[in-house]
Structures are given as C-alpha cells and as structure tokens.
Chain A
Amino acid sequence: MNPSVQTILDKYVGEGRDSLIPLLQEVQDREGYLSRDALKLIGRHLNLPASKIYGVATFYNQFRFEAVGRYHIQVCRGTACHVKGSAKVLETLTRELKIRPGQTTRDGLFSIEVVACIGACGLAPVIAVNGEFHAGVTPEKIKEILRTYRKQGAEAIHG
C-alpha cells in the first residue's frame, strides 16, 4: 500500500474514468513517475485495467514510468532551441545513454525528459541537469557534461 498515492485517490472518491488524466498527473507530480504500484491502485480505484491506463498514459508524452535518475536531464524543444539544433542534442543524448526520453539508465544515474520552452532562449540550444542550465550545447559538449556527472555520481556513491 502506497500512502501518498492513497491520499490522492481519496480526493477522487466516487469519480469515474474522466478523472483518469488529472489523477495520473497528480500522482506523477507527487511521485515523480507512475510506478507499477501506483497504476495498480489507480486501476482498482477507477475500475480500469492496467493495460488501459498504460495505453492512455503512453498516448501523452508527459508521463514517465520509471523514477528519474540521479541526474535528470531536461532537453528544451522550444522554437529557438529547435532552430539551433536541439534535435541533434537529443539524438546525442539518447545515443550516449542508450535510453529514450521518459526512460532512466539502468545504473539509475541519468534520465531524459523533453520539455517545452524552458524560457532560456538566449542560451539555445539548452539543457538543464537537475535544474542547472547548460548553454549552447553541442554533441562534444554533451559528452563532456555527461563525463563530469558520471564522475560526480561515482564519487557520491563510492566516496
């Protein structure tokens, strides 16, 4: 039993399937992602099969099904970043980390999320790692950034 999901469900007493999306949003806001446990509880609450909820949730890009990594990378896909090559940035990240947006690396270090404009157009193309901005990133720069965080992560774990 997950008490934090349960408190959210308690607010949706007697509500039907229409409340699925807001409910999923609220659970993700609280938990950071939609876990198997959370889906099970939501399904039981709304009387919906897990496959259906997962189907609906994957229809929208905003939901993730894995906890975010120690370093959560947000890639801006706003217009300015797009013009300056954010597609290449995302491609480099997915290739280097071998995960897609919404996923987390096996070692739990990194996760990727694609976000709408984060309001730092002057820095385009921009990524944010745990909220810290990195401006004008290129494929080379990204590799370097990842190296730095990897080292930091290793130190945090072993040191």
Chain B
Amino acid sequence: MVKLSVNNRNIEAKSGDTILSVLKRNGIKVPTLCHLEGLFPSGACRMCVVEVEGLPGLVPSCAYPVQDGMRIQTHSPRAVRARKTIVELLLADHPDDCLYCVRNGDCDLQNLAEELGVRQRRYAGKKSMHQIDSSSPSLIRDPAKCILCGKCVRVCEEIQGVSAIDFIGRGSRARVGPAFDEGLNVSSCINCGQCVTVCPTGALREQSALKDVIDALNDPGKFVVVQHAPSVSVTLGEEFGIKPGTDMIGAMTTALRRLGFDRVFDTSFSADLTIMEEGSELVKRIREGGPLPLLTSCSPGWIKFVEQFYPELIGHVSSCKSPQQMLGAIAKSYFAEREGIDPARMYSVSIMPCTAKKFEAERPELSSGGLADVDAVLTTREAARLIRMRGLDLNSLPPEPADTPFGERSSAGKLFGVSGGVMEAAARSAHYLLTGEEMADPVIKSLRGLDGIKEATITIGGLELGLAVASGLANARKLLDQIRAGRKDLHFMEVMTCPGGCIAGGGQPVSSDPNAIRARMKSLYAIDTGAANRVSHRNKQIQKIYEEFLGEPLGERSHKLLHTRYVTRDVMI
C-alpha cells in the first residue's frame, strides 16, 4: 500500500498500479486516447498527462506507476492546457466532417474538443491526402480521420493475433494500414471489427448495409425476414440509454415489426439447430475416431483465421454452417415452402453483433440454388440507427413475441452469445444423445466468465471428454499451437473471435462503461437460469423441423442445407 494525494485529497493505492488506474478507481476522470485496458501502455497520445509535484514535466498517467507520497494534480492549468493543445493539433489535420460522420455524437475526439472548450482553429494545418479503403466486405477505413493512436494496431496484434495492419511510413506521411498499402480485403484481416470498437474516431467503421435493407423494406414485391443473434437483445438497449445488460427482447421484436419486417425470427432457434447438428457430429467423430478435437464453426472471423493461419487444422473444424447461415437457409427452403413464398422473392436480413458476419454472408459456399442464405447483415449499431431513423424508441415500445416457426428457442441457444456458451449447450445435448438422460446440473462453472482460455473435463456415460474454450484469437493460437504440437486430451474446442464472445463483438454498441460486457454476460446467464427449457433438443420447433423436413441430424437434407466447406487462403500474413 502507498499513500498519495490527488487534487489535495488523500488516497491509498496498491504499489505498482499506474496513476490512471488509481484515478479511475477513485472516480477521477482523466481523458485518454491511446489507453487500452489490460494491454501494455504505449504512451502515444499524452492526453492523460497529470502534474506531479517535484517532477519537471507532465507525466502520462496511463504509463506511470504511483509512488508513496506522490502529490498529483489532474486538472492543473498546465495539464489542461497541454491536453487542449494536443486536441487542437489533432484537429489541425482533421477533416471538419462531424455532421456527416458516423461517430457524430459518440466520438472521443469530438467529445474532448467539447470538454476542453476548443472554440477556434488555432493551428491551420495542411490536411493530409488519404484514400478511403472500402475494399473490405466488413469495414471501411478512412485514414483522414485517423489520429494515429495505435489502438487498432495493438488490438489486431495482441488480442486477435492477426497483425493485419500496422504503422506505415513516418513523419507527415505516417499512416495505419495493411502491408503494401493494399486494401483490407486482400490482407490477413479477419473482419472481426475489434479495431472499430476501440477506434476513438470515425476512422474505422462498418461497411453499412442500411441502404439495401431500407430499399428491401420499401419494395412491396419482397418478403423481408429478419433474425437477431442471441447477444443482440442484451446489448441493443445501450444504444437507447438503457442500462447495460437489460434484456430488450420484447421491445426489440416490436420495433423490428414496426419497421416493416414481415417475420421476426430468433437466431437462437438456429443455434439450437446448430447444436443438434454439431452435437451429432461430435458424437460421430468420437465413435469413428476423429479428427479430434472438433473445432466450432459459428464465428466467421475465426473461420478465416484458421483458413489462412492453420490450414492443416481445417479438417478439425465442424462442417456446420453458423446459426446465421442455417436460419437463412431454412427460411428460404422449409419456411418458404410451408408458406408458399417464392424464395427468390424473399429477402433475408440478420442483426448481428459482428462485422465478420457481413463477410460470411457473402461467402459463395453459403448459398443454395444461386440464392444467398442471408442477403444483408446489420450490426447491432446499424439496427439501432434504423430504429432511430423511424422515430422509434426502445424505451417506450410494448413487448411482442417472435414469429413462428423460428421464434422458439431454448436458453442453450441463447448462451451462444457468450464465450463458453456453445460448449455448455453442446455438452447438454451430447449428454442426452450419448446416454438418453439429461445432465444433472446443466451448468459447467469452469467454462463461464470472461477468461480468454477455459478448460473442463466432463464425464458422460463413462466417457471422459476434454473441453476447451478460447475467445480472442491470440488465445486460440495458444491452444492451436498445443494441438499442433501433439496435445491429445481435447475432444471439443469452442472458439469465439471476440474476447468474451459475441457480447463483445465488433458490431456491438461502443460502450464507455467498462462494466458493460460483464453486465451483458450476466444477463445471458440469468436468462439461462430462469428458462423453462434449457436444452436445444427439447425445443419443440426443432423437433418439428426434423420430423417434417430435415429427417435426421447429419442426414441428406441437413448435409445440403446446413453444412459447408472451407478453403485455404493465400493472403499476406
């Protein structure tokens, strides 16, 4: 313990903590631009400077450890002036684009200019010339709005283990981008969008599908169906000022219906369907000798990651399409047939926590008879924009239930939204498939929580199964390298691209609340605890679709509609 004084108040802190973390814990706000919770400080932006008595210069609080007896002033005239100058210099080489900018209203740079009272252009800089990169199916990079904070570079390398982008050049020509200044589409970028959620400005954003969706909704000839991913109902509220973790499923369904969607479906239904197929695949592989571990396939960033970095493990990846694609495929077949709708007239939209889902929907393998399973993907953020555009407010909408037949779900399907959830859901159904009985306790504690790597061993009918869960692909790398080196005790491994799973996806609301992700997670666990049906195989509509249409899991129809294949990719890695 050390004692220090901040703004003339006495404070106790753990030695070794940074000044910034101590300030935060004591509710004192100092602005940051390059700081990333949990990663090594880079000290690049110097927004977080504070004055420390006895030290000649201002010190960056994010990188400086507290010491006993330190006397700190966080908002001395000198510190505030320094911050203001930094912002003014950044604005000197920044387009005055706020009115047209997707981040207008939630941009760190804009907020800081406001907070610090920047009211005139003191430095008139020459604006750098940059080209917008819209080559990616998922993201748009607008380097003119980049303030070179480096957060995207660090997240891409340290959290995702991808390193698709880095600083290029130096001085006034310094910029961030992929090797050879090429488009993101030909780089090793896996489209996860984690860089978007950390970017303090509008330099990174999703490739928007709003216009296509609005056009489809306005087209009387189209039958427009929408599905929403398991995590979306517990995050969308934040876009409307609602407390993080609040489940808005009912109001969201109402909003989507009022927007004009002809049917509102729940991707958690097809998550249940995924469990039927993937659980059967697991059992089959265990009986027939591999290849094991089976690797999950629902996270499209992860799929591209395996395809380019671990092509020799492609055979381990489940052949199941992701829940998004499964729902798209059965909507245009089973549902269309049942309702007598021409599938060519059907337009299938999904609301996803994810930017990589946009890439996934475009994969040529994921279509049948020339029709894409999914026609347009909106992120949670875009869905909120669409809802606001129509003058709807989630706060004041009465709840409505989802449509049949793809509205019913078990809470196992809902758990897909959090890291470890697919594994829990699969274990529940695999247990039933192998023994004919339900698990005594459906919760596997060690697979819950936000740790990047979680492992468990469970016994089902005398069979010992090694389970592993990774989220954040740098964590997945650690396990994959062990497998590559000969690790043999794992049977099933779940990988989610984003750290913590879809609740922290690259398409989710950019939250300023550090506890938001934990709140989202708890909300999904609470839904599971209180659910009437907690296992996928007891979902009545799932049982029905097998009886009426699919036949057996892994059967011929399933094989055609619900399974896919992967390719090796030769990109610059």
Instruction: Determine whether B74 belongs to the interface, using a CB cutoff of 8 Å to chain A.
Output: no
Contacting B166 at CB < 8 Å: which of A36, A39, A43, A52? A52
Q: Which residues of B contact A50 (CB under 8 A)?
A: 179-180, 188, 572-573
Q: Is the CB of A39 within 8 A of B572?
A: yes
Q: Is the CB of A51 within 8 A of B169?
A: no
Instruction: Determine whether A40 belongs to the interface, using a CB cutoff of 8 Å to chain B.
Output: yes
Complex Cα distance, B308 from A43, in Å, reads: 14
Q: Which residues of A contact B179 (CB under 8 A)?
A: 39, 49-51, 53-54
Q: Is the CB of A51 within 8 A of B170?
A: no
Chain B 164-194, CB within 8 Å of chain A: the 1/0 string? Answer: 1111111000000011100000011000000
Instruction: Determine whether A65 belongs to the interface, using a CB cutoff of 8 Å to chain B.
Output: yes
Complex Cα distance, B572 from A40, in Å, reads: 7
Chain A 71-101, CB within 8 Å of chain B: the 1/0 string? Answer: 0000000000000000000000000000000
Q: Which of A36-81 contact B (CB under 8 A)?
A: 36, 39-40, 43, 49-55, 58-59, 65
Q: Which residues of A contact B165 (CB under 8 A)?
A: 51
Contacting A59 at CB < 8 Å: which of B162, B164, B169? B169
B474 to A: closest C-beta gap in Å: 13
Task: Using CB atoms, name the residue of chain B closest to A53.
Answer: B179
Q: How large is the interface on A (under 10, 10 to 19, 20 to 34, 35 or more residues)?
A: 10 to 19
Instruction: Determine whether B163 belongs to the interface, using a CB cutoff of 8 Å to chain A.
Output: yes
Task: Using CB atoms, name the residue of chain B closest to A48.
Answer: B163
Complex Cα distance, B166 from A104, in Å, reads: 24
B186 to A: closest C-beta gap in Å: 10
Complex Cα distance, B179 from A80, in Å, reads: 36
Q: Is the CB of B573 within 8 A of A54?
A: no
Among A36, A39, A51: residue with most chain B CB under 10 A: A51
Task: Using CB atoms, name the residue of chain A closest to B572.
Answer: A50
Q: Which residues of A contact B157 (CB under 8 A)?
A: 49
Q: Which residues of A contact B180 (CB under 8 A)?
A: 36, 39, 50, 54, 65
Q: Is the CB of B572 within 8 A of A58?
A: no
Q: Is the CB of A54 within 8 A of B170?
A: no
Chain B 185-218, CB within 8 Å of chain A: the 1/0 string? Answer: 0011000000000000000000000000000000
Q: Is the CB of B163 within 8 A of A36?
A: no
Complex Cα distance, B177 from A58, in Å, reads: 12
Complex Cα distance, B169 from A53, in Å, reads: 11
Q: Which residues of A contact B188 (CB under 8 A)?
A: 49-51
Q: Which residues of A contact B168 (CB under 8 A)?
A: 54-55, 58
Q: Is the CB of A58 within 8 A of B169?
A: yes
Q: Which residues of A contact B166 (CB under 8 A)?
A: 49, 51-52, 54-55
Chain A 7-24, CB within 8 Å of chain B: the 1/0 string? Answer: 000000000000000000
Complex Cα distance, B168 from A57, in Å, reads: 8
Complex Cα distance, B178 from A36, in Å, reads: 12
Among A39, A54, A59, A65: residue with most chain B CB under 10 A: A54
B174 to A: closest C-beta gap in Å: 9
Complex Cα distance, B166 from A40, in Å, reads: 16
Q: Which residues of A contact B187 (CB under 8 A)?
A: 51
Task: Using CB atoms, name the residue of chain A closest to B169.
Answer: A58
Complex Cα distance, B203 from A66, in Å, reads: 28
Task: Using CB atoms, name the residue of chain B closest to A39.
Answer: B179
Q: Which residues of A contact B163 (CB under 8 A)?
A: 49, 51-52
Q: Is the CB of B170 within 8 A of A59?
A: yes
A46 to B: closest C-beta gap in Å: 13
A76 to B: closest C-beta gap in Å: 21
Q: Which of B129-186 contact A (CB under 8 A)?
A: 157, 162-170, 178-180
A49 to B: closest C-beta gap in Å: 4
A24 to B: closest C-beta gap in Å: 13
Q: Which residues of A contact B178 (CB under 8 A)?
A: 51
Q: Is the CB of B573 within 8 A of A43?
A: yes
Q: Which residues of A contact B164 (CB under 8 A)?
A: 49, 51
Complex Cα distance, B157 from A55, in Å, reads: 14
Q: Which residues of B contact A36 (CB under 8 A)?
A: 180, 572
Task: Using CB atoms, name the residue of chain A closest to B571.
Answer: A50
Q: Which residues of B contact A53 (CB under 8 A)?
A: 179
Q: Which residues of B contact A49 (CB under 8 A)?
A: 157, 162-164, 166, 179, 188, 573
B180 to A: closest C-beta gap in Å: 6
Complex Cα distance, B572 from A52, in Å, reads: 11
A52 to B: closest C-beta gap in Å: 5
25 contacts between A and B (CB under 8 A): A36-B180, A36-B572, A39-B572, A40-B573, A49-B162, A49-B163, A49-B164, A49-B573, A50-B179, A50-B180, A50-B188, A50-B573, A51-B163, A51-B164, A51-B178, A51-B572, A52-B163, A54-B166, A54-B168, A54-B179, A55-B168, A58-B168, A58-B169, A58-B170, A59-B170
A39-B179, A50-B188, A51-B165 known, 18 other contacts, Cβ within 8 Å: A36-B180, A36-B572, A40-B573, A43-B573, A49-B163, A49-B164, A49-B179, A49-B573, A50-B180, A51-B187, A51-B188, A51-B572, A52-B166, A54-B166, A54-B179, A55-B167, A58-B168, A58-B170
Q: Give 3 closest A-B pairs by Cβ, nearest first.
A: A49-B163, A55-B166, A50-B179
